[in-house]
Amino acid sequence: MKRLIKFSILAVVVALSVATTFQPNSNKYFEITKNIEIFANLYKELNTYYVDEIEPAQLMRVGIDAMVESLDPYTNYISESQIEGYRFITEGRYNGIGASSETIKDLITITELYEGQPADKAGLKVGDRILAIDGKVTKGKTQEDINNILRGFPGTEVELLIERPGKTVPFSVKLLRDEVEAKNIPYSGKIADHIGYINLSTFTRDAGANVADALRTLQGEDPDLKGVVLDLRGNGGGLLNEAVNIANVFIPKNELVVTTRGKVKEWDRSFKTLNVPVDTEIPLVILINNRSASASEIVSGVIQDYDRGVIIGQLSYGKGLVQNTRDIGYNAKVKLTTAKYYIPSGRCIQAVEYDNGEPIDIPESERTPFKTRNGRKVLDGGGVKPDLVIDRDGSSNVLKQLDKGHIIFDFVTNYCASKTQVDPVETLRFTDFDVFINYVAGRNFDYDTDTEKLITQLETKAKEEGFSLGVSLETVKQQIKSTKEQELTLFKDAIVDMIEKEIAGRYFYKKGSVQVGLRNDLEVQEAIKLLNDPARYQSMLKS
């Protein structure tokens, strides 16, 4: 009870301090003060008189999450227990075991190991299921709960009970937590004669310096290097200053990279390049896709705005918002959107509408046109559109559903269970496609297409209004079913590529997965062709 009284007093004090801080708009801040007091009173009444016992921290968490969720997908509350996860997002490091995991079939499953880190040293494998941690069963726990338990002080011990496909009896593994650091450049090297490649997975600390070092290394190994590919596909962003640093690798000192503008005008800032670039002349291709977001969109957008390189791939995610973290006491933080960012042409690539936290495509006719330095037309809102759009398989629903249902992940787990080693990355090939087809059949894999969803809606509506559409719709359903059965074979090359990358990741970590993926990568092949055709490359950058 004393805690609740203290909370109420604290809430009123905070409200009063807010009101006195923002005198100019007294009516608005009176509303803030009033509603904070109402919130504190409601919280107290629920905890005191609700029929069942309430966990106060959990109740408050639900209220806070609902509050920030109503704003945008990127404003979040970060509790004290989530600080290690926040460190990993911003710095690429945290204290823990060095493994990523997901909940698959209600079990916490290891999905990636970081080379040389505690989980890897202890002999854990991708696909292992964690049944218990320090004797506490994991089933029913959230991913956040598991991460909170696994992450802790370096040198402390944690015991895992592991279920491994191919083994009949679970076994225990003890390992010591350590400071884990994930590389933001899992792979760089040459992908063709005199063509370099740099894969950047996240904009964590030193990303700019690492990209600069990778480019210098490529140039040192090949003085005749005539082009470089920077791969930002699947890169969800990170630190804004690292986006500036990476742009600075390729554009001159003192060039504008990004401007941020928000409600608090004193916080508006312009970020320019501060250093001498590594190379402002080498032909550059940047690869992006629909999961390239935030800092990835700053870099690709800036390179496009200055006509410094060619962008290849698919329309990017569309996150043109800036987040800052504010300390709110008791080692907790709030990550809140404070501004929108604008790249040199003046455009903001922020998507304006969301559906379940995902941006909705905005028709080009509704997007405002801007000009690059050379006078090429570019559009704001809804992401960065590549100069050369390539999407071989991205529109395939079957590939999305295979990924979403963890079908390929589970297949590779079973396929690799009896293999202590596989061929080296250079010669690794998956030739057992029939085995995969039989596995999928055994899983009773099925999914609803958008057309099937519309048919279901139509049937429901027709029934409500007394229409009979049974025979004609049944014919359409059978045609769709037949087409779906053929889709696995139709997309065989793409599926084999996904399987090979998953296998390589099991034995050669993220680096191996990237290397294998380069072999059959249509966007990479197109980038190589473009960099080998200087006239075409230059023509794409002209007005």
Catalytic residues: 294, 305, 319
Instruction: Please state at what angle helix 295-305 crosses helix 240-250, rounded to 10 degrees.
Output: 30
Cα-to-chain-centroid distance, residue 190: 26
The residue whose two tokens read 């990358």 is 501
Kind plus residue range of the DSSP H or E element containing 19? helix 2-21
Of the candidates 198, 92, 83, 208, the residue with the CA atom closest to the CA atom of residue 151? 83
Characterise 155 by phi-psi region: left (phi > 0), alpha (psi -120 to 50), beta (else): left
**Token pair of 469, please?**
């559409």
Q: Long-range contacts of range 480-484, CB-CB < 8 Å, 24 or more positions apart?
A: 480/449, 480/451, 480/452, 484/398, 484/446, 484/447, 484/449
What is the C-alpha to C-alpha distance for residues 534 and 516, in angstroms, rounded to an integer? 27
- Whole-Å CA distances, 543 to 168, 360, 539: 65, 29, 8
Instruction: Please state at what angle helix 2-21 crosses helix 26-49, rounded to 10 degrees.
Output: 170
The Cβ of residue 274 has, within 10 Å, a number of other Cβ atoms equal to 12
Give the angle subtended at the CA of 522 by the CAs of 424 and 185, to the nearest 5°: 55
Query: Are the CB atoms for 300 and 232 separated by under 8 Å?
Result: yes
* Side chain identity at residue 255, one-letter code: E
Contacts of 22 (CB under 8 A, 6+ apart): 28, 29
Give the angle subtended at the CA of 493 by the CAs of 490 and 495, to the nearest 5°: 85
Q: Where are the beta strands (DSSP E) in 63-128?
A: 76-78, 93-96, 99-104, 107-113
Q: What is the DSSP string of 177-234?
A: -EEEE--S--EEEEEETTEEEEE---B-TTHHHHHHHHHHHHHHH-TT--EEEEE-TT
